Amino acid sequence: MKPNHLFHKLNHNHQLPRSLLFLFKTFSNLSSQSPSTSYHHHLISLISTTKTLKHLFQIHSQLAVSGFTQDTITNTHLIESYSFFKKINLARLVFNSTPNPSVILWNSIIKAHMKSNQHQEAIVLYNKMLKTDSFAAQPDKYTFTFLLKACTQLLDIEQGLLLHKEIVNRGLESDVFIGTGLVDLYCKCGDLVRARQVFDKMPHRDVVVWNAMVAGLSHSSDFAQAVEVIRSMQIRDGMEPNGVSLLNLFPAICKLSSVKLCKCVHGFVIRRNFPNAVVNGLIDVYFKCKRTDLAYRVFDLMQEPDDVSWGTLMAGFALNGCHYEVLELYDQMKNNRLKVNIVSVVSALSAAGETRDLEKGKMIHDCVKKNKFDSDIRVSTPLITMYAKCGELEKARDLFSRLSGKDMVAWSAVIAAFAQSGYPEEALSLFRDMQYAGFKPSTVTIIGIIPACAELCSNKLGKSLHCYAVKHNMSSEISIETSLVAMYAKSDEFASAMLVFDRMFYKEVVAWNALINRYAQIGEADLAFEMFCRLQLAEVEPDPGTAVGVVSAAAHLGDLNLGSSVHGLVTKYGFESDCNVNNALIDMYAKSRSLASAKLLFGLTKIRDQVLWNVMIGAYMRHGYGQESTFTFRQMKSKGFRPSLVSLVSVLPAIAYLAAVKEGSALHAEIIQTGYLSHTAVGNSLIDMYSKCGRVDYAESVFDEIDVKDTVSWNVMLAGYALNGHGDRAFAFFSIMQENLVEIDPVSFVSVLSACRHAGLVEEGKNVFRSMKEKHKIEPKLEHYACMVDLLGRAGLFDETLALIESMPMDPDAGVWGGLLGACQMHCNVKVGELALDNLVKLEPGNQAHYVVLSSIYAESGRWADAKSLRMKMVEMGIKKTPGYSWINEKQDLRALEG
């Protein structure tokens, strides 16, 4: 067999070491002859096919020994091969050892630097190339194609302009590859005017340059033009969009939120049978247009969905807050033994965190470790976030401490994770640790930590961060400005919030929402509507977050007509399908005395989340439908929802209202099992529930078990004693509160004064009332005066009672006069009773109860003629006495008493 034939056979079978050995031995025997051209060609062929760096070194050595290292072809192959093995220093050594390198060799070394992401060095080489006198080393169209890519990667528009000028001088502007590079450069640098000028001048445009133009417009503020370019591409040049065209167009469709346009593209995709990558992109667009149903339908119709399809589906559901659906999809993947990727794992971790499903989160963590994703920062951050949201702070901290190579990105991500998970103190602690580790806050860090300052009302640190941002020229960043507006608004420092807001060059809708929502939260509905009007005048497009704020403002006013108008506006904008907006609408109708409308919307809602169930539980209770409230709570659990903190705090008042102590005790046991007893708000609700069910002993046990008692805890227990007639215990408890330096507020005084009046503790009540102003500097309100009037009236001290009413700094309300009338009935005081009734008639002319009380006073005093006269007067006025009835709660059913 001839040597050449054997070489080809060995090379064909990828036996490079043997082929090298044979080749070297064969040609070393030809020592008396010069190395042949054939030998040279064989060595160059081996360079292109070698699989290891060691073999490349051997070939290079043989070339050097044979004297073949001075020609352009050999060195071009060597540079490309060293570049493939990421040995740019050796590629550069080959280039530097070549005298008078040609343009081909210059292009090779520039390309090698590009592959190594050394874009700036590629530009430096180009500048050196220009300084050479050799005609053979003048840049050609390939040189400029590589360099335009380098400028694009660096977003260096200044160097790009210089290249463009040189391209024009050399008459290369009409080249389609160079034109595409220029369009891509200008688009990615945000100069769409120049990009369009280059694009329009091109005599021949292929699909690649059209795609570059579409991509540039899709990511610009003029994203609607991307759609027009796609149309022109087909109409003007008769060119059909390919998969890349559609993928580049999708961001523009997302920004337009155009479901109609998305459906048009969908039809185009179906007719031409595009690959999975495009279909996956279509799924993503539907999700971003809030059409989860259509997104799932596209996925369901796919012949062979890949792991990217599953990941896109899960990420889309997570984006739309459908966290239970994400976890269900994750289970399907695991049951079908499908491959999970980073996107699907991250979505599943996010869903587990949002639903507080620690057990599921741990299962996903095991999957992460099995697939060795835990070292990837994209996975480790949501993993830490999941544990943080599930309350496993120590585990989250431990994972972060063991995270190797923590950089600024990792610190910023974890700080934001703790802040967003409801642990602002931990976020601030990590922020300090980051600084001790020698890292200076970046823009991302500041954006992540500012919400924690807002949550803790840490204005001092918040203002320090604001100063830091100003000092380091970050304050003009839109995200930081928006975060600062939200922080100041959350702290009710509206002067500072408006100062930052008014200075913003571009106001994102998020900044508007921060102000609108905060005004709504603190009850300043008029200011919320004023900001919304300003938003409309500024031609800023509202989003669902805006709608939530406006609807909440309408709910605060309780004006059904206004609420219905706002609902119409929400429908006009197309936000009604958003779950948060829908929940806000239902809450608004409930607060506007239209429970029927709230129930109707609730019934029409197909996908009900935890928040919606909580809203309806609270809505029924607000209207006095305790039975329906507890039924809705049980229905929520039957649908697979685990009661949240809000669910429990919403349903416990309903149980208290029904005095359903058995159901309350069962729920108490469930609260202990789920670990919610550690939450002070739940403990407070349990105290209130047991107190209203008459089980003060159980209420006391819960109070004693609360580790962190707030003012509400003490007040609720105090109210429990008062409600159940334990005046002495209430008064003693009030003294304990003061000894423990508990903050005494107006609510505390209402409870203790109420206890005093029920127990007849007149002197104690007088001392408490006097201490309000003298010791605690609290001005009595109407409810406090009502308690004192009732207390003094029950004791028969009518002169003192009338003197107290006369001294009131505000006009007495029906509660004050009603308390006096009740005391008059107790003591048969006709004269004062008539005075009380005269005032009550002015305040509540249609309330028959007051007339009935005075009639009873007349009757008990033997003044039958006056009693009859008063009843005749009631008939003349059209006031009828409502017949009495009674009811009981037994086994959750309302049964009318017979007999």
Q: Which of these, 487, 492, 490, lies nearest to 469 by C-alpha position?
A: 487
pLDDT of residue 335 exceeding 50:
yes
pLDDT band for 38, please (50, 70, 90 cuts): low
- One-character DSSP codes across 86-137: T-HHHHHHHHHTSSS--HHHHHHHHHHHHHTT-HHHHHHHHHHHHH---GGG
* Cβ 242 vs Cβ 269: under 8 Å: no
Burial of 562 (0-12, 13-18, 19+ CB in 10 A): middle
pLDDT grade for 588, boundaries at 50, 70 and 90: very high
Q: At what angle do helices 192-201 and 207-218 cross, to 10 degrees?
A: 160
Q: Per-residue confidence at 841, pLDDT binned at 50, 70, 90?
A: confident
CA distance 649 to 651: 6
| Residue 577 DSSP SS3 | coil
Residue 195 has pLDDT above 50, yes or no: yes
CA distance to 582, 663, 875, per residue, from 607 (Å): 11, 28, 53
Residue whose entry in the numeric block shows the structure tokens 């008064």 = 731
Q: What is the pLDDT of residue 720?
A: 93
Mean pLDDT, the chain, integer: 83
Task: Decide if 719 contacts 691 (C-beta within 8 A).
Answer: yes
CA distances to 684, 688, 759 from 715, in Å = 9, 10, 18
User: Which pair of structure tokens corresponds to residue 231?
Assistant: 């149309």
pLDDT of residue 763: 92
Express as a percent the part of the chain with pLDDT over 90.
26
Q: Average pLDDT of 422-439? A: 85
Measure CA of the first residue to CA of the last residue in the chain; give whole Å. Answer: 120
pLDDT score of 21:
45
Flag whether pLDDT at 833 surpasses 80: yes
What average pLDDT score do residues 39-55 get?
71
Determine the Cα angle at 93 with ends 89 and 99, to 5°: 150
Give percent above pLDDT 70 in the chain: 90
CA dihedral 660, 665, 666, 670 (to 10 degrees): 130
Q: Which residues contact 446 (CB under 8 A, 6 or more apart)?
A: 465, 468, 469, 474, 480, 483
Tokens of 856: 């009873």
- What confidence tens digit (pLDDT) does each residue in 295-328 have? 999 998 888 888 999 999 999 999 888 888 999 9
Q: Which amino acid, one-letter code, is at 840? A: L
Which residue type occupies 782?
L
- At a CB cut-off of 8 Å and minimum separation 6, what does 189 contact? 152, 155, 157, 160
* SS3 annotation, 742-791: CCCCHHHHHHHHHHHHHHCCHHHHHHHHHHHHHCCCCCCCHHHHHHHHHH
pLDDT at residue 671 tops 80: yes
The answer, yes or no, to whether residue 14 has pLDDT greater than 50, is: no
Instruction: Quote the tokens at residue 236.
Output: 């003007």
Q: Are 386 and 361 in contact (CB under 8 A)?
A: yes
User: Over the stretch 685-725, which tens digit does the pLDDT of each residue have?
Assistant: 999 999 999 999 999 999 999 988 999 999 999 999 999 98
Radius of gyration of the chain (CA): 39
b/e per residue 32-69 (b: at least 16 CB within 10 A): eeebeeebbebbbbbbeebeeeebbebbbebbeebebb
Q: Would you place residue 512 in the very low, low, confident or very high pLDDT band (cuts 50, 70, 90)?
A: very high
Asked if pLDDT for residue 104 goes beyond 70, the answer is yes
Cβ atoms 82, 112 nearer than 8 A? yes
Instruction: Over range 806-817, report the average pLDDT.
Output: 90
**pLDDT tier, 40 (very low <50, low <70, confident <90, very high otherwise):** low
pLDDT at 888: 34
CA 5 to chain centre: 67
Integer Cα distance of 850 and 854 in angstroms = 6
What gap in Å lies between CA 327 and CA 840, rounded to an integer?
A: 60
With cut-offs at 50, 70 and 90, classify the pLDDT of residue 792: very high
Instruction: Give the pLDDT confidence score for residue 37 in this predicted structure.
Output: 62
Residue 387, pLDDT score: 87
DSSP calls for 593-651: T-HHHHHHHHHH-SS--HHHHHHHHHHHHHTT-HHHHHHHHHHHHHTTPPP-HHHHHHH
Query: CB–CB of 202/179 below 8 Å?
Result: yes
**Residue 338: left if φ>0, alpha if ψ -120 to 50, beta else—which one?**
beta
- Check residue 19 and give its pLDDT: 46
Sign of CA dihedral 479, 485, 487, 490: negative
Q: 272-309 b/e with 16+ CB inside 10 Å = b?
A: eebebebbbbbbbbbbbbbbbebbbebbeeeeebbebb
Residue range 257-283: mean pLDDT, rounded: 87
Write the secondary structure of 351-376 as one string of H (helix), E (strand) and C (coil).
HHHHCCCHHHHHHHHHHHHHCCCCCC
* Of 467 and 851, the one with more pLDDT: 467
Helix residue ranges per DSSP H, 170-242: 176-188, 192-201, 207-218, 224-235
Of the ranges 125-139, 466-480, 612-626, the best mean pLDDT one: 612-626
Residue with tokens 């002015």: 842
CA distance 39 to 652: 91
So what's the pLDDT on residue 69?
58
Positive or negative: CA dihedral 131, 135, 139, 142: negative
* C-alpha to C-alpha distance for 383 and 398, rounded to whole angstroms: 12
For the purposes of burial, counting CB atoms within 10 Å of the CB of 827, is it exposed (0-12), middle (13-18) or buried (19 or more)? Answer: middle
Displacement of CA 572 from its chain's centroid (Å): 25
pTM metric for this prediction:
0.60
**Residue-wise pLDDT tens digits, 387-423:** 888 888 888 888 888 887 777 877 887 888 788 777 7
CA dihedral 325, 326, 332, 338 (to 10 degrees): 160
| pLDDT given for residue 15 in this prediction | 44
pLDDT digits (tens, 9 = 90+) for 858-895: 777 777 777 777 677 766 666 554 443 333 333 333 33
Q: Which of 151-160, 433-442, 853-862 has the lowest mean pLDDT?
A: 853-862
Q: Cβ distance 319 to 308 under 8 Å?
A: no
Q: Find out whether 287 and 317 touch, Cβ atoms under 8 Å.
A: yes
Distance CA 245, CA 281 (A): 12
Tokens 């417009």: give the residue: 217
Span 529-553, average pLDDT? 91
Q: Which residues contact 195 (CB under 8 A, 6 or more apart)?
A: 182, 183, 186, 187, 213, 216
